[in-house]
Chains A and B, each alone.
Chain A
Amino acid sequence: MEGLMVGLTAMTWQMFVMMIIGGILIFLAVKKNYEPTLLLPIGFGAILANIPFSSVLDQTEPSGQVVEGALSIFFRVGILTEIFPLLIFVAIGAMIDFSPLFRNPKLLLFGAAAQFGIFFTMILATLLGFDLKEAASIGVIGSADGPTSIYVATRFAPNLLGPISVAAYSYMALVPIIQPPIIRMLTTKEERMMRMDGGGNDRKISRATLVLFPILVTILTGLFAPTAVALIGFLMFGNLVRECGVLNKLSLAAQNELASLVTLLLGITIASTMTADKFLQVSTLFIIGLGLVAFMFDTAGGVLFAKLLNFFLKKKVNPMIGAAGISAFPMSSRVIHTMGLKEDPTNYLLMHAVSANVSGQIGSVLAGGLILALVH
């Protein structure tokens, strides 16, 4: 009988709090539909990992023998080797259609401007006492790109992987709440009503262009920032599979089965790091707060850059489009489109916002790669 009580007697209040946090994440996923594919596995995994002597984690027996747990094995095989995030990149690459960007390539610059939050947050994090690698990992929450955040955190701050992943995915789901007030604060009504011309929205792009783009981007990035090759290369490989036109089955498998399966494993495996002793710390609160700062300054960076660009452009850009330069696709472009319609029900900004949003997907991965290259 005593043996059956071991778990109950070893339960601490911290473990109980972590189970409640897991429950909240499941609630947000199920009831509010906030990034359910990630938050649900993370929430359930947090419960699994905080059951005393949980067999999903490695446990040391009294004899000193280590019994391996399934989630610990997944963590070593899938996260520490970076395989899970990279496979997600293949899936994301297969989902991205770059053609809206080809029709309006100047919007690529917004994909750079809207990464400002990453660097601003990194600087802020150093002032809060985080070391450079930890600060960089926290800043990358602002990439609004879960796999990039996980990839960089695995390399630089595996101890912070849990809170960084939770913050990244939670704020991505909250883009429709975070972005509008910042955009309204930085723009006038006239600016929000600004119309943009079609920009050749119905122009067709040749298959050669669609096939060459991922290959050339990979080579160019690799030549200048070899550390970014894994990130950008896997993303572009997925895109090449999509665009080559002869691997439709593989492309669909990457977009559906691969994405679903790896996301499931990624979520529940990350949760294995969310044990009470690692997660319930002041640093977690800082990370959650800094993540929000990163998203806010990404949005501000994009909007302000668009306003700056308008000084030099003949055909002006609606400054709200700049905010769509973050990687959260397609939420951000939908937010901008809806805000435009609210100001003027006949102003359709969706295609322009999608172009900026797609460039944000390249920008976020590139920013992650550059952080890996620049931080030592």
Chain B
Amino acid sequence: MFSDKIISVYSQAIDISFKGMTALFLFMFIFFILIIAVDKFFPHREEKK
């Protein structure tokens, strides 16, 4: 039904999608850690008047 060329591009797309989604979650997880860490090291303090 699909030509060899389409199947080859399709396989590449699946591979990229897997890597892309994994990297996306990984980045978001890193940002999650980053927020927790920065917020812990620099908590909000009321400014002195």
- In the assembled complex, how far is the CB of residue A243 from the closest CB belonging to chain B, in whole angstroms? 13
Known A101-B35, A363-B24: A119·B17 in contact at CB below 8 Å: yes
Known A112-B25, A112-B28, A370-B24: A212·B42 in contact at CB below 8 Å: yes
> In the complex, which of the residues A123, A125, A225 has the most CB atoms of chain B within 10 Å of its own CB atom?
A123
CA distance A86 to B21 in the complex (A): 24
Contact at B17–A224, with CB atoms within 8 Å? no
* Contact residues in A for B10 (Cβ distance below 8 Å): 123, 126-127
Contact at A106–B32, with CB atoms within 8 Å? yes
For residue A216, CB closer than 8 A to chain B, the reply is: yes
* Contact residues in A for B30 (Cβ distance below 8 Å): 220
Contact at B35–A102, with CB atoms within 8 Å? yes
Contact at A209–B39, with CB atoms within 8 Å? yes
**CB-CB contacts below 8 Å: A188-233 with B:** 203-206, 208-209, 212-213, 216-217, 220-221, 224-225
* Contact residues in A for B6 (Cβ distance below 8 Å): 126-127, 129
- Using a Cβ cutoff of 8 Å, how many contacts connect chains A and B? 113
CA distance A366 to B10 in the complex (A): 23
For residue A288, CB closer than 8 A to chain B, the reply is: no
Contact at B31–A362, with CB atoms within 8 Å? yes
Interface string of A92-114 (1 = CB under 8 A from B): 00000000011001101101110
Contact at A213–B29, with CB atoms within 8 Å? no
Q: A112: which of B16, B19, B24 is its contact (CB, 8 Å)? A: B24
Q: A363: which of B19, B28, B29, B35 is its contact (CB, 8 Å)? A: B28
CA distance A220 to B45 in the complex (A): 27
Q: Which residue of B lies closest to A208 (CB)?
A: B42
What are 17 A-B interface contacts by the 8 Å CB criterion?
A: A102-B35, A105-B32, A105-B36, A108-B31, A108-B32, A112-B25, A113-B25, A115-B21, A119-B13, A126-B12, A129-B6, A136-B16, A212-B38, A216-B34, A220-B30, A224-B27, A370-B20
Since A212-B42, A370-B23 are in contact, a sample of 15 more A-B pairs with Cβ atoms closer than 8 Å, ordered by chain A residue number, is A112-B25, A113-B25, A116-B21, A118-B20, A126-B6, A126-B10, A127-B6, A131-B9, A135-B9, A206-B42, A209-B38, A209-B42, A220-B30, A362-B31, A367-B24
